[in-house]
Amino acid sequence: MDAAVTGSKKAITFVVMMAALMALIDITIVNVALNDIRASFATPIDQIGWVSTGYMMANIVVIPMTGWFQRRFGYRRYFAGSIVLFTVASALCGCSWNLTSLVLFRALQGLGGGAIIPTAQAILFARYPRKEHGMASALFGLGAVTGPLLGPTIGGYLIEWSNWHWVFLVNVPLGVIVAVMCMRVVEEPGFKPAQSPIDVFGIALLAIGMASLQYVLEEGNRDGWDTTPIMVLIAVASVCLITFVVHELETPYPVVDLRVFKNVSYSAGTGINFLLGLVLFAGNFLFALYCGTVMHYVALDIGKIFLVAGLIQIVVMPLIGKMVTRVDPRRMLVFGILGTSLSLWLNAHLTDQAGFWDLTRPQFVRSVSMGFIFIPISMLALSDLPNQIRGNATGLFNLTRELGGSIGTAWMGLLVDRGSKIHASYLREAINPENPLVQERIAAIRNSVGQQTFTSDLVPEAMLEFKVRVQALILSFNEGFARVTLLFLLCLILVFFLKRPKPGGAGAAGAH
């Protein structure tokens, strides 16, 4: 696909950003509605997670195929079609009558949403001239970071004002407007559809392998990693994805062209993007879980923390977009990696006595630092690629971030679950009844709270057990943040393999 994208730059930017923001917000907006949905459908708590799992499974299947669809149908038709699918699926989700129908419609929504995000980024890079790719990266990065942050807040207010149905129905009017505008403002005057044969075998391997992998990552913690279904799907995912890689490297018409990884800067940038997704999703997952289980914050209060901390990005992202063409983006990347690591390290030292600003400060540092990662890494990885392969490269680039997020969330869920049990056992061993300090604490509880009950002897034991569980949770959260911090610092090694984009790189060929 060598044709350039033309049309009003401002109008295209608005359409692309609105569509991307709509899809990105939808990833997290539903999380605050899960309890209401469960109550509405009388769904067991161990099944409600399928509302998110169904979306992410479809999302992660379609993302790597977006490059092939773009070559087949063009940016304009594929982007508009994805928006229409997402909008129709949103309306169906809002009208769901049981859990099964909701999960099915969420999967359809995931197919549309997964296609919107990488196509939006590809359109921005195709429309903006090479010298303005920093600003294009800034605009997309603003949506990519703020979308998941705004989701819980918007969802909380919609549920408070109305009900969970509007978490989905709110997409309908915006989706209709954006789809119509897309067909009017995005132009591809020289586009010719690719006539290569359809790689049916590759598509089947990718769909089965990625769906199986996503199911394992989403459901492994809940079902148990050693259960038969999980073990079988691990085997299926491994066989399908390994066969897929071999097949795609051998076939002359691959649905996903993996040869783009021969570009060293792209490979290193994609590796950093994978770790970025892992850290972003794992960090937000740990933080939201910490606020809910340890601090006992409700969903709306957690959303306010994310919102207050994330608002700075509206100012930071455009500034970084202008700076990135004047300053070596690799230096900015190092600054962002160190800043993000610092924010995670601050999270690793939270206690149950933390106040609102103690919780907000690390998130604020992370919000600022993420801008110094999203924008430079997009430029360094994608900007110098020829326009005809950038759609494929953008799909893989976004896939790695989504895959990193799924792995990070599953890893942290497992760590918190097992870590809290291990820490609790050690803490219980430390509470020796013969210890004078323990005896003094038991006596104090019995003489204060215990006097208000008929079972004063049991109160100290119950309260100490409660404190043990809370402290065990805190220790497991701190351990999770610390491990993510150390892992993210590995990005500094990959920075050495990145090459600074040339002033008149290949990416300029398709931009006007």
pLDDT of residue 341: 95
pLDDT of residue 419: 87
Q: Tens of pLDDT along 461-490?
A: 666 667 778 888 899 999 999 999 999 999
Over residues 123-147, mean pLDDT = 78
Q: What residues does 187 pair with on adjacent strands?
A: 6
Inform me whether the pLDDT recorded for 361 exceeds 90: yes
pLDDT of residue 512: 33
Residues 6+ positions from 114 with CB-CB distance below 8 Å: 58, 59, 60, 61, 62, 63, 66
Q: Is the pTM of this model over 0.85?
A: no
Three-state secondary structure along 388-409? Answer: HHHHHHHHHHHHHHHHHHHHHH
- One-character DSSP codes across 272-310: HHHHHHHHHHHHHHHHHHHHHHTS---HHHHHHHHHHHH
Give the Cα separation of 267 and 57 in Å (integer): 24
Three-state secondary structure along 186-206? Answer: CECCCCCCCCCCCCHHHHHHH
- pLDDT category at 336 given cuts 50, 70, 90 is very high
Structural fold of domain 9-198+255-419+476-510: Growth Hormone; Chain: A; (1.20.1250)
Give the Cα separation of 494 and 336 in Å (integer): 14
Sign of CA dihedral 262, 267, 270, 274: positive
pLDDT of residue 198: 79
Over residues 169-189, mean pLDDT = 90
Kindly give the residue spans of alpha helices, DSSP state H, lying in 162-263. 166-169, 171-185, 200-223, 228-250
Inform me whether the pLDDT recorded for 360 exceeds 50: yes
Give the Cα separation of 322 and 326 in Å (integer): 8
- pLDDT category at 53 given cuts 50, 70, 90 is confident
Inform me whether the pLDDT recorded for 3 exceeds 70: no
Q: Tens of pLDDT along 190-217?
A: 777 777 787 889 889 988 998 898 888 8
Over residues 14-19, mean pLDDT = 90
Q: Tens of pLDDT along 252-269?
A: 888 888 888 988 999 999
Q: Tens of pLDDT along 425-448?
A: 877 776 766 666 656 666 665 556
In the chain, % of residues over pLDDT 90: 26
